Amino acid sequence: MKKGENTVVLKEYLKHLEKKVEDLKILTEISEIISSTFDFRELMTIVMEKAKGLMNAEGCSILLYNKETGKLEFEVALCSDESTSDSLRTKVTLDIGQGVAGWVAEKQEVLCIRDVKADPRFYQDADRQTGFVTKSLIAVPLVGRRGLIGVAEIINPQKEDYDIEILELLSKHFAIAIENALYYKESIEKERLKQELEIAASLQKSFLPESPIFVKDNLTASAVNIPARQVGGDLYDFIEPIKSRVGIFIGDVSGKGVSAALYMSKIISDFRYIANGSSSAGAVMNKLNSVLLRAPRGMFLTAVYMIADAKKGKMNVSVAGHPPFLWLRDEEVKIMSVPSGPPLGILPGNYPVSNFTLKRGDRLLFLTDGTFEAKNRKGQRIGFYNLVDFVKKRVDKEPLIDMITEHVNKFSKGTERTDDLTIVEVRFG
């Protein structure tokens, strides 16, 4: 090789090295940028603005993969016209395999297109909807530890001497940064939700009686209330509506979680206001039903309300679509399927009333369906009548509601509780 040729080769080699050094500087700079924040939106905006400037491009965008819908959705779109960016974010989504971004998401390969008009993969509707003119683009897959995150696109880049290898390295760094930001965002959201649930649980407990045991003259009422989750929709209450009378209320709100807990809190407030001064369980249920008819659609309540004469043992009971309660006398367990109206909050109407008298030593057991619908690992339910048989074998045992709770917990051990459990026991004498 001649001297002149050596000089040319050396210059080309040095030029190549200079470009590599410059690329590494860019890689290091962007790596520092994407490591500087965990804010998801800020991270994507910073990187896209940097990429847009480096490539001297007209626009940049990131489409995130929505695993629930299976579509690519524009999360960030940067261009000179803000309305174009807004249109992309609100109007355009792509299926996997659809358009250039969909192809890149499916193949997980970098794709550079000099002339989009000549490429059948280009999705022209995006330009039609926004008025933007795409001439060329670079699309880079963003793949993290949990798989596809999305696709980054650089639109109409003016710089032509870019390195595909550098773009691939950048995409890997960026994907990791996005994934870390998403993890951080999820952890913040989980912590916020945890705090909200703690507040809701505290609020819910504040509406229940201060003590699960209530004693008045010859009558003792006790309760167990265990939400399926941190908060639930089961409720109970002990009140004195009039002198020498005890009001015992148990109910099960439709649904679960925070919405059921908030609805339950409202119901107890309404119930206490309506029940005060009333000696008729049916009248209270009628008024409460009228109030709950104005509640959001789909929310209702099964319930039993009993007004007990704490001295004489006379009971006045009204039922709204709730499971039968049990009457324990001596060694007998009687299933009390008294006349019932529909659950509260569904239809207007009058709720029937049943009257009976307890003798000393008698007990009543009121249950929500979470008590007998609990499942074991095989998916089998306890069943109402199996629970009745359990009670019959322990009719003379104490404390019965604790024994029932332990039985349900053992039966469903190793499974996630799906329904709240509430038991109220009333003893006379």
Domains of the chain: 3-186 (3.30.450.40), 204-428 (3.60.40.10)
Distance of CA 225 to the CA centre of its chain: 22
User: Closest Cα to residue 235, out of 250, 254, 257, 255?
Assistant: 250
Spatial separation of the C-alpha atoms in residues 317 and 353, rounded to whole Å? 5
* SS3 (DSSP) at 122: coil
Sorted by sequence, the CB contacts under 8 Å of residue 266 that are 6+ apart come out as 295
Q: Strands 219-226, 213-216: parallel, antiparallel or unpaired by DSSP?
A: antiparallel
pLDDT tens, residue order, the chain (429 aa): 555 555 655 666 666 566 566 666 666 666 666 666 667 677 777 777 777 777 788 888 888 999 889 999 988 777 656 665 666 666 688 999 999 999 999 999 999 999 998 999 998 887 887 778 899 999 999 998 888 999 989 889 887 766 677 677 777 777 877 888 777 778 888 888 777 777 777 777 888 999 999 999 999 999 999 988 777 789 999 999 999 899 999 999 987 777 777 888 889 999 999 999 999 999 999 999 999 998 776 789 999 999 999 999 999 999 999 999 999 999 899 999 999 999 999 999 999 999 999 999 999 999 999 999 999 999 999 999 999 999 999 988 888 999 999 999 999 998 988 888 999 999 998
Spatial separation of the C-alpha atoms in residues 238 and 223, rounded to whole Å? 10
Q: How far apart are the first and last CA of the chain?
A: 115
State how far the alpha carbon of 123 is from the alpha carbons of 86, 100, 113, 394, in Å.
Answer: 18, 7, 13, 72
Answer for the pair 359, 371: CB distance below 8 angstroms, yes or no: no
Total number of residues shown for the chain: 429
Distance of CA 111 to the CA centre of its chain: 38
Residue 212: cis peptide before it, omega within 30 degrees of 0: no
Q: Number of C-alpha atoms within 13 angstroms, CB side, residue 192? A: 6
Spatial separation of the C-alpha atoms in residues 202 and 209, rounded to whole Å? 13
